[in-house]
Amino acid sequence: MNKDKLIDIRRQLHQIPELGYEEVKTQAFLLDYINSLPQENLEQKTWRTGIVVKVKGTSPSKMIAYRADIDGLPITEETDYPFQSIHEGNMHACGHDFHMTIALGVLTHFAKSPGNDDLLFIFQPAEEGPGGAQLMLESDILNMWKPDQMVALHIAPEYPVGTIATREGLLFANTSELFIDLKGKGGHAAYPHTANDMVVAASHLVTQLQTIVARNVDPLDSAVVTIGKITGGTKQNIIAEKSRIEGTIRTLSIESMTKVKQRIEALVNGIEVGFDCKATIDYGSNYCQVFNDSQLTREFMDFSKTKVNLIECTEAMTGEDFGYFLEEIPGFMFWLGVDSEHGLHDAKLKPNEDAIQVAVDLFVEYLSYKVSSKG
């Protein structure tokens, strides 16, 4: 597939971002394109708003899967694109429009020119939440078509086009959402002694939460507790009965994740006593670490280093539910450089579209090698 066609697909997908398990237009677009390809080597099945496409090999002895996530984010786009999101309040601000386009480009090649072994293209919903990978992995489709190896990529705004980055072992962190609801007693602003102010309680708790990483996590380990949203109250002269804190936890070890959560619970218990209120904690979606298979990753790195600029990167605090696939299926993920001034989850993210062709060419070469070899 030529570069102009790939860019056109990306731009069409960019205009229709949809949240997890709401990717109805996205699924329809993908199915229309997949159905336009030669069908003699393809089998396809849908799972909720996702799609799984099998490319039948000529003499298969293994199956290799490529996963692309398909959902967008609840972000209002602030680019100057003439092809901005037509879904107000939603945006492909994490590059999933790129991921899908690359998958379609690679699928197009192998639909026309299959290799010896089977390939599986997984278009997965709900990566951004509530976590589609784990449920998709447990589905009847993936039990029937369970791959022997698996690979995925993620765009990286900080790297230039033509560069990829990965490493053996831990690539992305363990992650957990964090939602804390506080309920006290509302009242008139002039009579604070008759109420229990949950804005004040939430403010104290946020400050205390920032001590966890500084004082409860081994400094040789790494963890992040970020509070991204606080809501509380209804009017400037009414003491707030309720408040809500929303954030995220990131750790490089499972042990640190357990310790951080234990400390959060202890601090919240203290707030309940100190402010005479009730509190509930919801950890929402939890994503396990992305841990790259050493042998497959090193093989891929050796294969790629003469074709692109390869960087052996350090681990990142990024969260990715692709880790659930890698718990059961050997494989790896890598960063694809897209050279954007603005980062992931930014309303102004503008990845360089030249990176799409780089990724398609690399995947076609790599998967052609894999499905024609005994590796």
Locus of tokens 């209120």: 277
In terms of pTM, does the model score above 0.85? yes
Give the integer Cα–Cα distance in Å for 323 and 329: 10
pLDDT at 375 over 60: no
pLDDT band for 238, please (50, 70, 90 cuts): very high
Q: Is the pLDDT of residue 34 over 70?
A: yes
Reported as a pLDDT band with limits 50, 70 and 90, residue 285 is confident
Q: Where are the domains of the chain?
A: 3-172+289-371, 175-286
* pLDDT tens figures, 86-116: 999 999 999 999 999 999 999 999 999 999 9
- Asked if pLDDT for residue 49 goes beyond 80, the answer is yes
Question: May I ask the CATH architecture of the domain 175-286?
Answer: 2-Layer Sandwich (3.30)
If you count them, how many residues does the chain have? Answer: 375
Domains 3-172+289-371 and 175-286 share a fold: no
pLDDT in tens, 342-355: 999 999 999 999 99
Cα(128)–Cα(345) distance, integer angstroms: 10
Mean pLDDT of 4-10: 98
Nearest in space to 167 (alpha carbons), one of 375, 333, 330, 303: 333
**What pLDDT was estimated at residue 329?**
98
In this predicted structure, what is the pLDDT of residue 22? Answer: 98
Domain covering 3-172+289-371: architecture: 3-Layer(aba) Sandwich (3.40)
How far apart are the C-alpha atoms of 31 and 27, rounded to whole Å?
6
For 170-214, write each residue's pLDDT tens digit.
999 999 999 999 999 999 999 999 999 999 999 999 999 999 999
The yes-or-no verdict on residue 374 having pLDDT over 70 is no
Catalytically active residues are 69, 128
